């Protein structure tokens, strides 16, 4: 996380309204305003005594910081003293900041998850170096700070709140579990309802079809082969036409009438004449010769019969062709009548369009099968049978638990309330451990660093011992050349002549330098891991100018790993800080 700007309005010892643009690296802010440190941290780590430290009494005091999350996204965190905080996110499209939330718990969750922030007490206790950070100032400023910032009514209210929150912690836990269970059941019920609705919608769509599945199957077959059927019909009709034309070409001439034939009458008369002659001459054998002329009318009659039969056969054949033609057309019309009726019903112009509509219906059928399978699968889940029974009971219990929580009037975490209580009692105005004996301060710093690094104390000592030695030798001019923990964990220091002694045996000026070396060595290691802004509130102002300059270079080295914001009264030497600002 990196702070990109400081916004303030009507803050004690600062101009009425202003904005500081903060860069990465080592940023030195030249200012005599002791409220600057609180202005930087009040929106990120709000404390009960912030109004006393910041308010100038001229109106509503507002502070805020711009920050980059762990993913590099720009945000703003604003706070009006006496009111709520507001988290804003930069919208690249509109080039403006848009509100994300004003909920206190959601903002803290954002800082933890998106920015990697520890608890407020852990951050301000390690990454913030107070103006009375050095041991020689800690005792004097401690009493003054406690005196100035203990808010007895606030302490009583926080103690009551802490007790009440502990009592209702179980209720809140139960409420969370009930709400989670209710949410899961409602999600399942919604899935079941959606599946039933999907199935009902598909079934309604299928019911609107005017044909049964069997009819659709039959119509599909007919529509798919309609071209083939029409071609077969046309080919059959063409064949009939050809046969009719061929029959017309081979049609025999009409038979010659018997009554108009000379051979018929001539042969008949001649035969009768021969028979009459035989009768008159009384010679019967002569009548036998009459058969010869009778052959002529017989031949005429046989030819007429042959022609008449051929004409009847031609007429019958023509009639058969006509009947076949009529039957083909009728059968085709009957075959196509159902298909045409279906096309009219479907309001389509061609069998192809009808087939496309049937394919769409097949997709609907498949959708029904999928919806049915999904519904059946959901109904097989054991939780489904409990939905109708559990949801009313859980909703009733949730309402009761919410009423209890609302009556409590507070839902903050216990650790947060305890931190506010420490602030209100003046115990956390000096984050380096005022409540501890001075001899325990180094061990407390090591423990805090180990917690932030998720390491053991021994491992932290092994990692920082080299840098601690370098810092000790540089700041003490080699009067102290090394430091390590003794058997009890207390800080044991070594001089260049081989002598050794405990931290508390050092004279106050030298103890200040040793403390500064330990503080910076631990800060360098933890800041390189957590990448959180370090705020230094002129913590080394009482040291000599050369030592302050040396510490400035050390802070610049730490600034290569994370952002360091250092309030100083006097501007640092040129080239020491990456950015120098005035406030």
Q: Which domain does 502 fall in, by range?
A: 438-530
Q: Do residue 443 and residue 563 come from a single domain?
A: no
pTM > 0.75: no
Q: For residue 152, what are the contacts with CB-CB under 8 A and spacing of at least 6?
A: none
Q: Do residue 446 and residue 491 come from a single domain?
A: yes
Split into its structural domains, the chain has a count of 2
| Local mean pLDDT, 10-residue blocks, the chain (583 residues) | 92 87 93 90 88 82 91 91 89 89 86 87 90 79 44 69 73 80 86 87 76 72 73 78 74 66 75 79 76 76 77 78 80 72 75 74 80 85 83 87 70 65 55 63 91 92 93 92 88 89 90 94 92 92 92 93 93 91 89
Q: Do residue 536 and residue 462 come from a single domain?
A: no
Domain boundary residue, one of 515, 530, 545: 530
Residue 427 covered by a domain: no
Domain boundary residue, one of 514, 530, 546: 530
- pLDDT for residue 185: 85
- pLDDT for residue 15: 85
Measured CA distances, 155 to 141, 151, 167, 433, 435 (Å) = 21, 6, 18, 20, 17
Q: Do residue 445 and residue 561 come from a single domain?
A: no
Backbone angles phi, psi at 256, to 5 degrees: -70, 135
54 touches 63 (CB < 8 A): yes
Q: Do residue 583 and residue 497 come from a single domain?
A: no
- pLDDT for residue 416: 66
End-to-end, the C-alpha distance of the chain in Å comes to: 23
Q: Do residue 89 and residue 104 come from a single domain?
A: yes
Q: Do residue 31 and residue 137 come from a single domain?
A: yes
Q: Do residue 71 and residue 103 come from a single domain?
A: yes
Residue 165 covered by a domain: no
Whichever domain contains 2, its CATH number is 3.40.50.300
Residue 490 covered by a domain: yes
- pLDDT for residue 428: 47
Measured CA distances, 256 to 149, 202, 300, 532 (Å) = 148, 79, 9, 129
Residue 293 covered by a domain: no
The torsion defined by the Cα of 451, 456, 461 and 462, in degrees rounded to 10, comes to -130
Q: Do residue 536 and residue 579 come from a single domain?
A: yes
Residue 43 covered by a domain: yes
CA pair distance 42, 65, nearest whole angstrom:
9
Q: Do residue 576 and residue 474 come from a single domain?
A: no
Q: Do residue 548 and residue 523 come from a single domain?
A: no
The length of the chain in residues reads: 583
Sheet holding 482-485, edge to edge: 482-485, 491-494, 500-502
CA pair distance 505, 492, nearest whole angstrom:
10
Q: Do residue 76 and residue 103 come from a single domain?
A: yes
Q: For residue 368, what are the contacts with CB-CB under 8 A and spacing of at least 6?
A: 199, 202, 203, 206
Q: Which of 428, 441, 471 has its CA nearest to residue 128?
A: 428
Domain boundary residue, one of 485, 515, 530: 530
């Amino acid at each position: 996380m990196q702070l990109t700007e400081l916004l303030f309005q009507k803050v004690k010892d600062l101009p009425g309204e202003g904005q500081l643009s903060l860069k990465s690296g080592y940023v030195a802010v030249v200012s005599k305003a002791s409220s600057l440190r609180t202005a930087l941290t009040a929106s990120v780590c709000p404390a009960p005594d912030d109004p006393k430290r910041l308010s100038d009494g001229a109106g509503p005091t507002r502070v805020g910081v711009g920050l980059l999350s762990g993913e590099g996204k720009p945000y703003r965190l604003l706070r009006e003293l006496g009111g709520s905080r507001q988290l804003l996110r930069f919208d690249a499209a509109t080039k403006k900041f848009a509100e994300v939330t004003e909920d206190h718990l959601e903002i803290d969750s954002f800082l933890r998850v998106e920015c990697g922030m520890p608890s407020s007490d852990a951050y301000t206790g390690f990454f913030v170096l107070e103006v009375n950070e050095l041991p020689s100032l800690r005792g004097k400023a401690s009493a003054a700070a406690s005196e100035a910032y203990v808010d007895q009514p606030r302490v009583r209210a926080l103690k009551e709140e802490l007790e009440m929150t502990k009592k209702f912690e179980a209720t809140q836990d139960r409420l969370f579990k009930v709400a989670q269970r209710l949410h899961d059941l409602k999600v399942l019920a919604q899935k079941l309802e959606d599946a039933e609705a999907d199935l009902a919608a598909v079934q309604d769509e299928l019911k609107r079809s005017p044909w049964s599945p069997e009819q659709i199957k039959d119509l599909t077959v007919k529509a798919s082969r309609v071209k083939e059927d029409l071609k077969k019909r046309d080919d059959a009709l063409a064949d009939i036409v050809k046969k009719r034309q061929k029959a017309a070409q081979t049609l025999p001439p009409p038979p010659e009438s018997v009554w108009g034939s000379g051979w018929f009458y001539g042969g008949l008369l001649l035969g009768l004449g021969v028979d009459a002659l035989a009768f008159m001459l009384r010679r019967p054998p002569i009548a036998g010769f009459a058969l010869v002329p009778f052959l002529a009318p017989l031949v005429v009659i046989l030819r007429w019969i042959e022609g008449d039969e051929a004409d009847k056969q031609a007429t019958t054949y023509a009639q058969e062709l006509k009947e076949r033609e009529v039957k083909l057309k009728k059968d085709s019309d009957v075959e196509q009548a159902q298909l045409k009726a279906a096309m009219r019903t479907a309001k389509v112009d061609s069998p192809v369009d009808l087939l496309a509509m049937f394919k769409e219906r097949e997709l609907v059928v498949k959708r029904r099968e999928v919806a049915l399978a999904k519904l059946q699968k959901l109904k097989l889940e054991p939780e489904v049978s409990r939905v109708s029974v559990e949801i009313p009971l859980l909703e009733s219990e949730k309402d009761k638990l919410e009423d209890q929580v609302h009556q409590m009037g507070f839902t903050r975490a216990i650790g947060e309330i305890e931190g506010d209580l420490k602030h209100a009692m003046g115990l956390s105005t000096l984050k380096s451990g005022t409540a501890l004996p001075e001899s325990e301060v180094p061990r407390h710093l090591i423990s805090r660093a180990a917690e932030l690094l998720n390491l053991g104390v021994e491992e932290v000592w092994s990692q920082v011992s080299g840098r601690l030695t370098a810092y000790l030798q540089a700041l003490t001019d080699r009067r102290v050349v090394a430091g390590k923990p003794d058997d009890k964990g207390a800080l044991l220091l070594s001089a260049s002549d081989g002598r050794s002694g405990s931290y508390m045996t050092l004279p106050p000026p030298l103890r200040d330098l040793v403390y500064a070396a330990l503080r910076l060595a631990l800060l360098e290691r933890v800041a390189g891991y957590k990448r959180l802004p370090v705020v230094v509130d002129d913590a080394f102002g009482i040291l000599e100018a050369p030592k302050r300059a040396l510490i400035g270079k050390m802070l610049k080295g730490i600034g290569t790993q994370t952002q360091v914001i250092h309030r100083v009264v006097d501007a640092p030497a040129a080239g020491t800080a990456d950015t120098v600002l005035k406030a």
